[in-house]
Amino acid sequence: MEIERITLAEYYKLEDTSNYDFAMKFAHQFTIPENIFKVPDLEELEFGFIKNAQLNIVRGDMNYYLELFHELTGLNPFNLYLDEFTRQLHYIKREFEKLSEKESKLLISPPSEKEQRAGLERFDGLGAYMQERELANNDITKLEAIRKTKYKYCFVELYTRKQERDFNKAYSKLK
């Protein structure tokens, strides 16, 4: 199937997008993640920006993706070719997925039976805030500074604190 190379704006003006929808779902020209427009390393960005993006990406709202794309590239996505836009968007999504996987693997411990019985689920939906609050040592006047700190520094601190907690827990069991 041959399709014409069009911009994102032209795509939105089409009455029938089915051929392009199919191509965007299956054709390598649209699906291979590629950092065409040189999105910076996400770990160099502000912690608050990353946490907000992670929350909104889960929702899968296309308007948010357009906003995020513009924030990360400085470009108006509607002026870009559809294939380049989708490859860059796949790259952005993949990079956020990598961060989320890294956090799940390194920052989250499986809850104990006691924690589950105590109602651990009451903290659902507070994930990013709980991280910010921990980094601010429960001082809400420091939250804004935490949000403006580079993600990589916040991540290392959260990881270090988790390692300390795990060590102390294991050590206390040995006593």
Per-residue pLDDT reduced to its tens digit, 131-148: 999 999 999 999 999 999
Question: Per-residue pLDDT for 175 more than 80?
Answer: no
Selection from 10-24, 56-70, 100-114 with the highest mean pLDDT: 10-24
CA-wise closest residue to 30 among 3, 12, 9? 3
pLDDT for residue 47: 98
Question: Per-residue pLDDT for 113 more than 90?
Answer: no
pLDDT for residue 69: 96
pLDDT for residue 111: 80
Taking the C-alpha atoms of residue 120 and residue 143, their distance in angstroms, rounded to an integer, is 23
pLDDT for residue 151: 98
Mean pLDDT of 13-38: 95
Confidence at 112, pLDDT banded by 50, 70, 90: confident
Question: Per-residue pLDDT for 79 more than 80?
Answer: yes
Tell me what the pLDDT averaged over the chain comes to: 93
Taking the C-alpha atoms of residue 124 and residue 157, their distance in angstroms, rounded to an integer, is 22
The dihedrals phi and psi of 150, each to the nearest 5 degrees, come to: -60, 140
pTM, entire model: 0.89
CA-wise closest residue to 58 among 29, 28, 96, 32? 96
